[in-house]
Amino acid sequence: MTGRRALILAGTGMLSEVAEALVRDGWQVVLPSRRYQPLSVPENRMGVAALKALRPRGHVPTQRREPGRARWVEAHWDRPRELAAKAESALGGPADLLVAWVHEQYRRAVLGACERLLAPAAPVVEVRAVGGPEAPEPLLAAHPTQLVLAGSLSGLPGNRPLSHTELSGAVLEAVSRAVEGRPASLHQVGQSRPLVH
């Protein structure tokens, strides 16, 4: 995955675990948002990967993964063309992956403005809130999309709110499916809050 580019559209820190995982895997990640939030990606020290992947005596590693990096650009959902222009400059080429969790009010405008930044047939992971009687349709039909529907309650026992870790895990699973080239699909994490009368 070395040298691949990902564009992550989400509120500050909302998908930071996803961005960190991609950077660790060698991706160049661009994160447009209002505020800067540093990522905690451990440095790749020489020899650590070799120790983790010990081979028989005499084995010489032939491939070294270049470290990825994350680049933040200041952007606002209510200025989608400006956001896309800044993201394009930071990407330095077509994005090989788009992960988007954009407020419903701005979703269509922001994703529409950023579609031109994607490589042909680049996969998309779109996070949306659970709601409505019908399953939502992907917005960028030309790109295979993994839809992640996020509920407000955890699917685990205890009737508690959906945790950030549960949501990040579901999005990371969808990213893996997207990168592997699996068919478009729908994933739900958590449950919608029951209506109270």
Residue 124 lies in a domain: yes
Residue 194 lies in a domain: no
Residue 145 lies in a domain: yes
Q: Tens of pLDDT along 96-122?
A: 999 999 988 999 999 999 999 999 989
Q: Which of 10-14, 130-134, 174-178 has the highest mean pLDDT?
A: 174-178
pLDDT-based confidence at residue 132 (cuts at 50, 70, 90): low
Q: What is the mean pLDDT of residues 77-83?
A: 94
Residue 55 lies in a domain: no
**DSSP helix/strand/coil, 175:** helix
Within the chain, strands assigned E span 5-10, 28-33, 69-74, 97-101, 124-129, 145-150, 185-189
Residue 130 lies in a domain: yes
Q: What is the total count of domains within the chain? A: 1
Residue 54 lies in a domain: no
Q: Which domain holds residue 70?
A: 5-40+66-189
Residue 140 lies in a domain: yes
Residue 14 lies in a domain: yes
Predicted TM-score (pTM) above 0.95:
no
| CATH number of the domain that residue 27 is part of | 3.40.50.720
Chain-centre distance for alpha carbon 23: 11
Chain-centre distance for alpha carbon 112: 17
Q: Tens of pLDDT along 25-73?
A: 999 999 998 876 666 555 454 454 444 454 555 545 544 456 788 898 9
Residues 111, 184, 174: CA angle, nearest 5 degrees: 80
